């Protein structure tokens, strides 16, 4: 699954233990993006146009947030409220993305792409239902 929100929604829909493991795996993959992006940045600077390639500052904020979370400096009540706020904001962001999608331009651009996506989605749903029923 592409986004953390999708992983959380599908994992916790099964049960809490699966949801927690799904988030651990997804966040582990996300954490490894930091060193990967740093390496790619320096490779790009060495081989590409140095004026166009800027270091993505969100990496510092992400690494800082991970570090602060590990220090356990916030009371658990605040951490729980921040987690709830994060879940709410994720739902708002997903809804905003959904509201911003216009079907007519998508169909004009790529009917084949929409059809393929629909077929893949249907196959995924059928496989999921099959695994649940087995």
Residue 121 CA from chain centroid, whole number: 18
pLDDT at 17: 92
Residues recorded for the chain: 134
Contact 10, 1 (CB under 8 A): yes
The reported pLDDT for the residue numbered 49 is: 64
Do 65 and 34 touch, CB atoms closer than 8 A? no
pLDDT of residue 76: 85
Q: State whether the Cα torsion 63-98-7-73 is positive or negative.
A: positive
Distance (Å) of CA 105 to CA 56, 97, 116: 31, 15, 17
As a whole number, mean pLDDT of residues 119-124 equals 94
3-state DSSP assignment of residue 51: coil
CB 39 within 8 A of CB 56: no
CA 98 – CA 41 distance, rounded (Å): 32
Q: Each residue of 7-25: pLDDT tens digit?
A: 888 888 899 999 899 999 9
pLDDT tens by residue, 13-61: 899 999 899 999 988 888 888 888 888 888 877 776 666 767 778 878 8
Q: What is the pLDDT of residue 87?
A: 85
How many whole angstroms separate alpha carbon 29 and alpha carbon 79? Answer: 22
């Amino acid at each position: 699954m592409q986004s953390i929100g999708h992983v959380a929604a599908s994992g916790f829909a099964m049960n809490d233990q699966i949801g927690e493991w799904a988030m651990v795996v997804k966040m582990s993959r996300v954490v490894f993006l930091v060193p990967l992006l740093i390496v790619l940045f320096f490779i790009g600077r060495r081989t590409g146009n140095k004026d166009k390639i800027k270091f993505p500052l969100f990496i510092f904020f992400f690494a800082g947030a991970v570090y602060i979370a590990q220090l356990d400096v916030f009371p658990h009540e605040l951490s729980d409220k921040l987690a709830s706020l994060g879940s709410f904001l994720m739902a708002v962001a997903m809804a905003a993305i959904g509201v911003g999608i216009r079907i007519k331009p998508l169909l004009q651009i790529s009917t084949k792409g929409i059809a393929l996506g629909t077929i893949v989605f249907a196959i995924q749903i059928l496989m999921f239902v099959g695994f649940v029923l087995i």
